[in-house]
Amino acid sequence: MIKLAKLFKKGAWATHRPRVPDGERFYVIGDIHGRCDLFDELILAIEQDDAKSGDAQSTVVLLGDLVDRGPESARVIETARQWGKRRKVRYIAGNHEEMFLESFEDKEMLRHFLKHGGKETVLSYGIKKKRYNELTMKELQGELHELVPNKHRKFIEKMEDIIVAGDYVFVHAGINPKRTLEEQKASDLRWIRDRFLKHREPTSHVVVHGHTIFEKIEHTPYRIGIDTGAFRTGNLTALVLESDQRRLIQAQEKDGTISVAHTDFA
């Protein structure tokens, strides 16, 4: 994890429009949750947008919760891995990745994981529903060790917790404004909700986060929430940041058809 020592002191950005470093472009993607159909379309849209948007060092950031709830978590993980071989992609760990990893060794965590969307992840790795229903927790753990490729586990283990880009900071769930920087915990960055969402005091960076679903982008002076509930709403969002400009690219499913929308974002 990067050093967090500057995150909570008041920053000069509060008096001007926040920006990312000059010459860089960021595509920040919210919670995918197993919707690889939407992810596929968003990847195509981002690559097309990047190709026509002029010279810049572009970075894709996935804000975590790639897995669970939707039907294709295994394919999302593999697609994300392969995309990172073709371009610069950085991956942030969400609480669902944390639960997934811990489920391999902790039966109680596996039970919790399955109740919160993990069943769909398990099925996406090839376990048939009939067999799934017949397995004990111990047997299911054994199946996970056999069916989930080690490269997928290693990929998740290497995910980051926080990324800073100019006046922005990217995390999965949010930050804990009550803690000193030295006390900041991965559990806060992956799980926090109300203490962060209800915080109204200035922070030195605009926090771009997922984790909490908003049907429309949640935007305050100090944070931008871009989890638009892909598994439930059929809407997967990418926030595009370049200089002091912001815009959105969204893959949206309606009546079984996926379209892509490009909109400005103040």
pLDDT tens for the chain, residues 1 to 266: 334 444 444 454 556 899 999 999 999 999 999 999 999 999 999 999 999 999 999 999 999 999 999 999 999 999 999 999 999 999 999 999 999 999 999 999 999 999 999 999 999 999 999 999 999 999 999 999 999 999 999 999 999 999 999 999 999 999 988 775 557 789 999 999 999 999 988 887 899 999 999 989 999 999 999 999 999 999 999 999 999 999 999 999 999 999 999 999 87
CB 167 within 8 A of CB 13: yes
Q: Among residues 26, 105, 23, 38, which one has the least CA distance to residue 70?
A: 38
Cross-strand bridge partners of residue 254: 257
CB 253 within 8 A of CB 229: no
Domain ranges of the chain: 24-94+151-264
Q: β-strands 24-29, 57-62: how paired?
A: parallel
CB 38 within 8 A of CB 32: yes
Cβ of 1: how many Cβ atoms within 10 Å?
10
Tokens 């981002």 found at? 46
Residue ranges in 181-229 assigned as alpha helix (H): 186-191, 194-197
Distance CA 91, CA 172 (A): 10
Task: Name the architecture of domain 24-94+151-264.
Answer: 4-Layer Sandwich (3.60)
Distance CA 158, CA 90 (A): 10
Distance CA 168, CA 224 (A): 10
- Let me know how long the chain is: 266
Q: Is the pTM of this model over 0.85?
A: yes
